[in-house]
Structure 1
Amino acid sequence: MSDFEHARVPDDLVGAAIRAAERTGKDVADVSLVEIAREAGVSRSTLLRRLGGTRGVLDEAVRAAGVDPGGRPPVRERAAEAGARMMGELGLAATTAEAVAVAADCSVHSVYAAFGSRDGLLAEIFERHSPLPGLEAYLADAGEDLSATVHGVHLLVARTLVREPRVMPALIADVFARPTGPTRNLMATRFLPRALSVMGGWLSREVAGGRVRDLPLPLLVQQLLSPVVVHFSLRPALAGVPDVDFPDLEGTCAVFSDAFLRAVATEPPH
């Protein structure tokens, strides 16, 4: 398209398209003409008429103004993935909205438009990289084989912890370092209640079925998860220690599963 054709698109419409994209947290190409028209203070039909009847000239004019109109994942997707990578590599403190905006190649305003706040961004990252959604699906279909279910839980949690980006170890490390810091609120409002609901509901059924000893539920959940969480969070740091040789992931989970069953099962494995 020629410079003359770019000039056909008034600057106020280019600005309206960019503002609408920032407000909605989308790329310009993903913003509807209705939204752009609303931002420009005109009707959709008036907008189309001023564009010469085609949306393409607007996207090209936006590109000519130095803004990529689209062709990439939405801001929400880019920011969540950039934040997860940053958290795994640099830690939670470095994962600010400003830093994520730079890494995701978007404005800070777009990040806030997509997530509402930094806590909203962290919550989205947590949801994508937490083992809880997988545990919910797995335990919904759990059978009566307690040993197999426990081993499956340990495998699922372990694979989540070692998978890049290592979001959960970063969250846990921040809670250990700052037990009254902002991450505590995320863990207290999103992780712990949900973990107690998911794991506690299943363990309560196991207790009612006579397969697990009737112990305080929060301690049962901790006894199930804590060894796996601590081990696989620290395992990369111990990889180069002389004379320290761990079994592979499945073998390690088998050891932890056996230990849990011996501690709490009414019929421990022989």
Structure 2
Amino acid sequence: MAAALTVARARGRDVADVPLAAIAAAAGMSRSTLLRRLGGTRGPLDDAVRRAGVDPGGRPPARERAIAAAASLIAEQGLGATTLDAVAAAADCALPTLHGLFEGRDGLLTAVFDRFGPLPDLEALAADPPDDLCELLREVHRAIISAFAREPRVLPAIFADACGRPGGPGQAMLKAMVPRTTESLRALLSPHIEAGRLQPLPFPMLVQLLLGPIVTHMLLRPTLEAAPGGELPSVDEITDTLASTYLRAVAT
């Protein structure tokens, strides 16, 4: 194991990408002897490297595995069950590795929200917005809809935790994303406010009027669809309706 780590560091590669012949030479034995001691496969060597707190590599990076594992745990069992120990076991990586990658559980949860929440789509939209205000509003609503529908279903679980546990991790995750969300929406709406197309209401109110209805709809939609007679308009129809309603409320 020490030889494998030494060679990997010297080559700037993951342990899994270092040939067994090079590891055997560094350990002072032949490749066949090393394979015999490992039982014919390099699996025991990778396991020993993991126990030492190092990811041997040869698969998706530990960060990507941890984010994916945490997202699945959040969607299936809720935020309360998404501990670092549970994520480490599901992602098959060492607990010290997670601490080093994310600086604790809060950092991991923030990374998950950043990946599965609406921020990537909103920031991409802010970088290249449509000129038409109504189409812009539709695109904002589509970003929220996509985030709620994205698998695994992280965003509904976060809202459920935030509503059920004031001061819990769900609320902390949402609050942590407020600055970036506000920055993106300000970049999208400010030109229309300055051009006189939107009323100069307090900006938080403009945001609440824009996001509140679509977030509420997406939270309630699964329940309403399952109810008797719960046939709802398509999400595209909802998007058009809410965009038009927003314009009637705040457009000049």
Q: Distance in 1 between matches of 2:46 and 2:130?
A: 57
CA distance in 1, matches of 2:95, 2:26: 33
Q: Alignment partner for residue 78 of structure 2, among 78, 82, 91?
A: 91
Which of 44, 50, 56 is equivalent to 1:64? Answer: 44
Aligned CA-pair RMSD: 2.9
1:186 aligns with 2:166: no
In structure 2, the gaps of 5 or more residues are 51-55
> What corresponds to 1:50 in structure 2?
27
Select 1:105's aligned residue among 65, 76, 92: 92
**1:23 alignment counterpart:** none
* 1:210 correspondence with 2:199: no
SS of corresponding position for 2:208 = helix
Instruction: Report the more deviating stretch, 177-186 or 231-240.
Output: 177-186
1:140 aligns with 2:127: yes
SS where residue 93 of structure 1 aligns? Answer: helix
**Residue-by-residue CA offset, 1:111-146 (whole Å, 9 max, x unaligned):** 222222111111111111121121111122223311
1:70, CA displacement in angstroms?
4.2
Which residues of 2 match residues 5-20 of structure 1 at below 5 A?
Answer: 12-13=2-3
Partner of 1:248: 234
Hey, what's the Cα distance between the residues in 2 that align with 1:104 and 1:214? Answer: 48
1:73, CA displacement in angstroms?
Answer: 1.1
CA–CA distance in structure 1, aligned partners of residues 15 and 234 of structure 2: 47
Counterpart residue type for residue 130 of structure 1: G
Aligned 8 A contact 2:70 2:82 in 1:
yes
Displacement after TM superposition at 1:185 (Å):
2.9
Q: Is the contact made by 2:79 and 2:169 (CA closer than 8 Å) also made in structure 1?
A: no
| TM-score after normalising by structure 1 | 0.76
Query: Does residue 67 of structure 2 align to residue 80 of structure 1?
Result: yes
2:53 equivalent in structure 1 = none
Provide the secondary structure at the position in 2 that maps to 1:239. Answer: helix
2:222 is matched with 236
The CA distance in 2 between the partners of 1:260 and 1:151, in whole Å, is 10
| Counterpart among 233, 243, 249 of residue 263 in structure 1 | 249
| Aligned length in residues | 233
